Amino acid sequence: MADLILPARGLLFDNDGVLVDSEVSVVTSWRRWAKDLGLDPDEVMAAVPGRRAADTVALFVPADDVAGAVAEITRLELEGAADTVAVPGVLDLLPQLIGVPWAVVTSGVRELAAARLRGAGVEPPAVVVTAEDVAAGKPDPEPYLAGAARLGLDPADLIVLEDSPSGVAAGLAAGCTVLGIGAPALHTPAPAVVTDLTGARWTGTGLQLPAAALLRRP
């Protein structure tokens, strides 16, 4: 099977699960938050992937309590932010992107996103779109449309790299090419899915993905 090349002029990366592996921190923080509020941790965890913390919290607490509950989960997540590691292939791919328009588009708040990136050894790029920057979070396309606008590129010229159903939906709705990261992305409509970014290479006109990493191709 041949390598897959996705043409593009730039890249829009989700953060958690795409650039950084923060799963242990995320699960520990949210389960503790749920238990402290007397909620079912499994039910809460099912609502977390790809959503802004405020959107998840609003599903479980009264409107008047959302701000305080968001502050608490943010505090818990920041405590474990330094324990993140880079997803395989990320630290090899990013140095290839010097001069290439790329951004991080995350459902996390700015402070948490920066802490997790640095914890994984990734210096945040010039453009980072966070929960504070949009009125509607993923699966709404607004975050990825904002990322495209700040890079000065048409969404159709960008690849969105995502791992969650809501993130994939947001990227597709924005009109971007979407690449799913990790086996769980096989349960999303991402046209192409890879195990991780091991062996990924920027060609100058797109992203080349090794055949060995492909779980699904368009």
Candidate list 14, 21, 163, 196, residue with the active-site label: 14
The one-letter code for the residue type at 11 is L
For residue 13, which of 165, 163, 162 has the smallest C-alpha distance?
A: 162
Cis peptide leading into residue 139 (ω within 30°)? yes
Q: Which of 3, 16, 154, 157 is catalytic?
A: 16
d(CA 127, CA 131) in angstroms, rounded, equals: 13
By the 8 A CB rule, do 196 and 181 touch?
A: yes
Q: Which residues of 88-127 are buried (b: 16+ CB within 10 A; e: fewer)?
A: ebbeebbeeeeeebbbbbbbbbeebbbbbbebbebebbeb
**Rounded distance between C-alpha atoms, residue 162 and residue 159, angstroms:** 10
Taking alpha carbons only, the member of 111, 100, 114 closest to residue 12 is 100
14 is an active site residue: yes
Active site residues: 14, 16
